[in-house]
Amino acid sequence: MELLKTENLCKTYGKGENEVKALDNVSFTVPKGQMTAVIGPSGSGKSTLLHVLGGVDRPTSGKVFLDGQDVYAQNDHNLAIFRRRQVGLIYQFYNLIPVLNAEENITLPMIMDGRKPDPKQLDELLTILDLKERRHHLPSQLSGGQQQRVSIGRALFTSPGIILADEPTGNLDSRNSMEIMELMRRTNRELNRTMIIITHDENIALQCDRIITLSDGKIVSDKLTGR
């Protein structure tokens, strides 16, 4: 059953001579529960694709459907609500809110949605993330790995339809990278979460179910890893 579908996605920046095609007719589908890696050289359009899929950046043309819903048919207000409920974003540089502690960063999307976080669910998640002892620490008091785990927690807590990660291990050492990937695999496996991970690291890509390769904004290869 397909969860995500893109149709002829195009994204261009600049005009005239300065026009750059970041995405060029990108079409693919992702079934529910699949863990997909998007790889490609720098400037191939990976991050742009992630932002377009996540409802952050409107495509120049083409469509994105999530669970059958046309994402960009919505206005900006509804798009923000869509992001907070349907998408979990993980960044290389974590993008945590420095004035909120770990627990508050994780629950922020839910609080923004006017919902009260379930303490039991939060406790379970903090246990999975191994952050129980650090729940009241500010991001500046956490290590890079811990900050990324908080970022993953924030992406998971609202149980979104899809999790999009932009080089989640790009800023971490190998031990922390392994831990984070293990965590993401567990999440994918145990919670059946659909994930798209952008990475440069071939080893990380090989841990996914499928690898899409982008070059100059186009899909040049789309393979299942056989995992």
Residue 10 interacts with another protein (CB under 8 A): yes or no: no
Give the C-alpha separation, 92 to 1, whole Å. Answer: 30
Q: How many Cα atoms sit within 13 Å of 5 on the Cβ side?
A: 9
Residue 206 beta carbon to another protein: minimum distance, rounded to whole angstroms = 25
Encoding tokens for residue 154? Answer: 């924030």
Residue 108 interacts with another protein (CB under 8 A): yes or no: yes
Pick the binder of another protein from 21, 85, 200, 218 (CB under 8 A).
85
Give the C-alpha separation, 199 to 1, whole Å. Answer: 25
| 8 Å CB contact between 200 and 26 | no
Residue 81 interacts with another protein (CB under 8 A): yes or no: yes
Give the C-alpha separation, 62 to 24, whole Å. Answer: 10
Residue 76 interacts with another protein (CB under 8 A): yes or no: yes
Encoding tokens for residue 56? Answer: 């952050």
The residues facing 211 across adjacent strands are 37, 223
Residue 138 beta carbon to another protein: minimum distance, rounded to whole angstroms = 6
Pick the binder of another protein from 20, 73, 99, 224 (CB under 8 A).
99
Residue 92 interacts with another protein (CB under 8 A): yes or no: yes
Residue 97 interacts with another protein (CB under 8 A): yes or no: yes
| 8 Å CB contact between 163 and 192 | no
Residues 23-52, mask of contacts with another protein (x by CB under 8 A): ------------------------xx--x-
Q: With respect to another protein, which residue has the nearer C-beta, 98 or 226?
A: 98
Residues 125-164 that bind another protein (CB under 8 A): 136, 138, 140-141, 154
Cα distances (Å, whole numbers) of residue 205 to 38, 153, 226: 8, 21, 12
Residues in contact with another protein by the rule CB under 8 A: 47-48, 51, 54, 56-57, 76-77, 80-85, 89, 91-93, 95-101, 108-109, 111-113, 136, 138, 140-141, 154
